[in-house]
Each structure stands twice: as C-alpha cells, then as structure tokens.
Amino acid sequence: MSTQSRPFRQVDVFSDKPYFGNPLAVVLAADGLSEETMQRFAQWTNLSETTFVLTPTQAGADYRVRIFTPGGELPFAGHPTLGTCHAWLRAGGQALQADRVVQECAAGLIQIRRSGGRLAFAAPRLRRSSPDKAKLDLIYHALGLNAEQVRAAQILDNGPVFLGMLLDQADTVLNLSPDHGALKQLGLKIGVAAAYPSKPGPALIARFNREALAFSNQPPEATCLAEPDLEVRAFVAPVGVNEDPVTGSLNASLAQWLIADGYMPSRYIAAQGTCLGRAGRVHIESDSGGQVWVGGQVSSCVEGWVDL
C-alpha cells in the first residue's frame, strides 16, 4: 500500500498547561490504514496511546477512532477520547449536535460533552467484582503495602481492566515505589487512590513539595492548580509503561465505584501524575441521572503531517 500525507496532531490532555498532562498522538483522515501500520506507528511514537480517526460506521457517530498502545489496541481509553475529540474539532470537525460530540470506538458510542473550554466524556458502564485474595496479597507485596493501608479493592472493567485500590491516605499513594517487574508478571494494571483531608496536613505538604519541584522552572502563574480531592496513580507495566501520567478510563471507573459506595462526593477533582512531574487534573461529576462525566482541559502542542 502506498503512503500518503495525513494530518497529524500531538496534544496534551488533562492539563491547561501544555506538557504537564498526558500526551497523545492523533492521526486524522486515517481511512485505508491497515491495523499493522497503525500498530507500527503507535510503537514508533512511543507514547502511551496513539489514535487514528476514521469515517464512522454507526448512525449518530461523528467520527470513529481506533486506539493503540505500543503493545496493542484498546477498546476504549479516557485521555485518548478527550484528546482525539479536541484534535478533530480543531481540524474543523462539525458535530451533529451543538453541545455534544459522539465518538464511535470498539466499546461503542461515547458521548462527549462540550462546556466552556472543557471536554468531558460519559463514563462507559462499569463492571466490577471482588479481587482474588491470593493475587491481592502478591500485589500488596509488589507495591510495598500492608493490608491495613488498603480501605477497599475492586476489579474495575469499563473496557480497560484495572485493580482499583482505595488507600488510607494520599501520602501513602505518593510514596509508593512499586516493583514494576513483579506487577508485569502478575499481568494486571493497578490503579491506586486516596482522598485528601479537608484541611492541610502531611499529605498536602508532600504534594505541594513534589509540585514545587515539577514547576520549579515555570512562571508563578503555572503553579495555580486546582486543589484536588483525590490523588491517583496508575501502574500499567503489563502494557509496556510503568506508570501512566493521567488516566481517563481509570478515573472514570474509580469515580463510579467510589461515588456509588459513598467514599467520594458526586463532584470532585482528582490529581494524577504528581510523582512524574506532571500536574494532571481530572474533573468528575455525577449528574442527576447518575451518569458520571470525566472532564479536563486539552492543549495543542504539535500540528503537521505524517506520511503513512
């Protein structure tokens, strides 16, 4: 198959400051590309995800997307959903509805809400179950945790599957130093989270110190971040990345679990990427009908063409 020049974007998701969120490569006008070519290009970009925008096949969809990690294809992922939508709109995409964009992906049709300068996707249906006790003990060991530090744990599946763990406090999350080799052998992606106290304490001081380092070379206004209610980390060694900077699908499933079980309110802000020098902010809202929306800012970083 001969190559052709296709519009290309690289965007930063879940941060209003470019280069402090989670990067995404987007190939627009990707019709005609083989799965092998998509996978090879995703390996070459070496980002956690690369997306390819195609003509939709389902009624009501504005575009179709295929999402690839360096190691394989995903049925759905959160930061690629928001980043692809942003790139498609910026390239002149016209949605069928004034206030919504409908994305077709392997997980089905995903509603994306436009409100002000922020995009938010409707969290897909969550399936959850209790983890295997024997495997949970191995994961505790790989993370350097003891059982007393874990308030609750669930297998969370909204396309991507994570073991979600709610820990006792935010500084436990921030101080984790996992054995990524052991996690890769266990073959399960891990999402850990803990709520911040309502008043400044050791966990908040730890976060501020880390973010001060991340922003030490930035102008003062760059440190004006929304104060989070929840700290999140995603360990994803089974897909070839030790830690993901900001993970929309994980935050979506965590929100559905934690709100439903009364651990978090219906509206909150999650921080992710702190330990990687990032400053991701994920805006969570459960509406009156119980639908969870996962939102954030997207910044354009690179625009051009790619020969594929």
For the stretch 235-275, pLDDT in tens is 999 887 899 999 999 999 999 999 999 999 999 999 999 99
**Total count of domains within the chain:** 2
Catalytic residue among 35, 36, 49, 73: 49
Query: Are β-strands 292-296 and 280-286 bridged in parallel, bridged antiparallel, or unpaired?
Result: antiparallel
Residue 83 sits in the same domain as residue 142: no
Residue 101 sits in the same domain as residue 135: no
Query: pTM score, two decimals?
Result: 0.89
For 29-47, b where at least 16 C-beta lie within 10 A, e where not — what string? Answer: bbeebeeebbbebbeebeb
Our answer to whether residue 104 is catalytic in this structure is no
Residue 275 domain boundaries: 127-290
Residue 154 sits in the same domain as residue 58: no
Residue 146 sits in the same domain as residue 106: no
pLDDT tens-digit profile of 116-173? 779 999 999 999 999 999 999 999 999 999 999 999 999 999 988 999 999 999 999 9
